[in-house]
């Protein structure tokens, strides 16, 4: 996926998460959107830094990098929500392109799903919006149906 797609995904995801955690549509909703949108957009842009430093779709497109970013709020109380952007970048790269990502880098094998669409496809924006909708729906299910992982996701997200 290209940068426009990643930014679109991150912005829509931030708005959606704001409403999932604060459905009222008033000040708390907009505060949550403001709080998470910039970190999520920055996180969504971060993996493609490996186009200039390292190997693209490998060096910064893997689970160890996501784990490090995810650990920052836990250990250092900073970089909150950035991991959400990094994670959604990976999802979009797997689904919104024909090439995979090296999830277990430095093991170089790139993982992909057989039904990704090319970045240049006229369907790319539609796939981006659809992927975002599914992501928001999954979080909404976890939050509103009180699934056991809610406590984990809520404490990490710091939103409720
Ligand atoms: Zn990428």
Distance 142 CA to ligand 1 centre (A): 27
**Overall domain count for the chain:** 1
Q: Is the pLDDT of residue 104 over 90?
A: yes
Q: Is the peptide bond before 21 cis (omega within 30 degrees of 0)?
A: no
Distance 148 CA to ligand 1 centre (A): 31
Distance 48 CA to ligand 1 centre (A): 5
Q: Is the pLDDT of residue 159 over 60?
A: no
- pLDDT attached to residue 122: 84
Structural domain containing residue 29: 3-157
Q: Is the pLDDT of residue 155 over 60?
A: no
Distance 146 CA to ligand 1 centre (A): 32
- C-alpha of 79 from chain center: 14
Distance 93 CA to ligand 1 centre (A): 6
Q: Note the pLDDT tens digit of each residue in 111-148.
A: 988 877 777 788 888 989 999 999 999 999 888 887 66
Distance 78 CA to ligand 1 centre (A): 23
Q: What is the pTM of this model?
A: 0.89
Distance 56 CA to ligand 1 centre (A): 7
Distance 28 CA to ligand 1 centre (A): 32
Which of 29, 41, 148 minimizes the C-alpha distance to 88? 41
- pLDDT attached to residue 97: 78
- pLDDT attached to residue 160: 45
Distance 67 CA to ligand 1 centre (A): 17
Quickly count: other Cβ atoms within 10 Å of residue 92's Cβ: 27
Q: Which residue has the higher pLDDT, 125 or 11?
A: 11
Distance 117 CA to ligand 1 centre (A): 14
- Percent of the chain past pLDDT 90, that is, above it, reads 72
Q: Which residue has the higher pLDDT, 96 or 13?
A: 13
The alpha helices in the chain, defined as continuous H runs, are: 3-21, 27-45, 63-76, 82-95, 124-144, 150-157
Instruction: Give the three-class secondary structure for 60.
Output: coil
Let me know if 112 is exposed, middle or buried by CB neighbors in 10 A (0-12, 13-18, 19+): middle
């Amino acid at each position: 996926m290209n940068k426009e797609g990643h930014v679109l995904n991150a912005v829509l995801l931030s708005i959606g998460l704001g409403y999932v955690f604060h459905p009222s549509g008033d000040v708390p909703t907009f505060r949550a959107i403001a709080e998470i949108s910039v970190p999520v957009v920055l996180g969504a842009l971060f993996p493609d830094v490996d186009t200039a430093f390292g190997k693209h779709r490998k060096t910064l497109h893997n689970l160890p990098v996501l784990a490090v970013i995810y650990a920052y709020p836990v250990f250092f109380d900073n970089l909150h929500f950035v991991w959400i952007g990094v994670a959604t970048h990976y999802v979009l790269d797997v689904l919104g392109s024909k090439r995979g990502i090296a999830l277990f880098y430095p093991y170089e094998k790139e993982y992909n799903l057989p039904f990704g669409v090319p970045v240049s496809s006229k369907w790319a924006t539609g796939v981006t919006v659809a992927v975002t909708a599914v992501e928001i729906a999954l979080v909404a299910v976890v939050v509103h149906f009180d699934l056991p992982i809610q406590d984990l996701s809520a404490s990490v997200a710091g939103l409720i």
